[in-house]
Amino acid sequence: MEEESHIEEVEIQNKLEVAPALISVHPSQKSVAVAVGSDLRVFDLIDNCPVSLVDESDGPSRKESIRAIRYSASGKLFVSAGDDKLVKIWSADSWHCLNTVCSEKRVSAVAISSDDSHVFYADKFGVVWVVELDGINEGKTLPSKKGALLLSHYCSIITSLEFSPDGRYILSADRDFKIRVTVFPKKPLEGAHEIQSFCLGHSEFITCTAFVSTPELTQGYLMSGSGDSTVRLWDITSGSLLDTCEVSTVAGHLESNESESPTQVTVTDICAIPNSSLAAVAIQRQVQYFSLHTFRLNQIFDYLY
């Protein structure tokens, strides 16, 4: 009960904070979605025009900050969720809201299965829930559903949800420095009970994760960013740490040439470039680019904005 009270206090404090801007790009680059606060906007990159979102689903409208947005791998679905405890599932073609799921707690991360059959969302108590999407591919507006328990991090806020490229594992990262690799079950509504590995090595909260994979490397390797000023590379099957890159030296130098010691910075986002070994890493006012080569991360160049 004390842990729950503490988390509720943190939630109240965080409610006053301004949510970071979020951006998500359609896998075929047909559109781009941006969320700022409670405002969600989509721009059609093919017709070069803004998209009108239509929400006729049952349930309340969004009034609080959006904390997670994501396209499905197929590009057919889009999910948004956040502090209003609403998980909204959209058609990425018509941009009609197909379903609104009400969460018991504020939502911190979302994911979509590779076959578009399930949506997953994590709440501020460290619980991952799953919703089955019967008939969603027909573009029908579905009745509101309640999520089923998939797995739990025991009161540690989950910051990132990710599927492995082959769909065998679902990964969940949290503020207690760990990444859990869970075998994706055949029946998700009955829970995920088999843990493949833990990726342990970060010394601060984990902020983001992304897979770097190529046509030759279909399994992919996981990159993670953290508040400990590092980007790390993992083999998720064994949980082995393959490489660690310190980003504080370069970022600290750009922030202040007078500082003799490196400034600790937070890696805020990682974006893997599809079908390549490249990834862009956002760090404060800087973007660094890395390439994957023989299980190591090589910094190519950085960009100050």
Homologous superfamily (CATH) for 1-163: YVTN repeat-like/Quinoprotein amine dehydrogenase (2.130.10.10)
The tokens describing 282, both together, are 């956002």
Sign of CA dihedral 226, 229, 233, 238: negative
The pTM (predicted TM-score) of the whole model is: 0.84
Residue carrying the six token digits 């911190």: 108
Tell me the one-letter amino acid at 125.
Answer: F
Residue 12 has pLDDT above 50, yes or no: no
Average pLDDT, stretch 135-146? 65
Q: How far apart are CA 256 and CA 54, in angstroms?
A: 47
Residue 128 has pLDDT above 90, yes or no: yes
Residue 238 has pLDDT above 80, yes or no: yes
The tokens describing 191, both together, are 């829970």
CATH for the stretch 202-305: 2.40.128
pLDDT category of residue 35 using cuts at 50, 70 and 90: very high
Reference 234, options 197, 276, 204, 271; nearest CA is: 197
What is the residue-averaged pLDDT of the chain?
84
Q: What is the pLDDT of residues 261-282, one digit of tens each?
A: 556 789 988 988 877 788 888 8
Tell me the one-letter amino acid at 139.
Answer: G
Return the domain boundaries, the chain. 1-163, 202-305
DSSP label at 189?
Answer: G
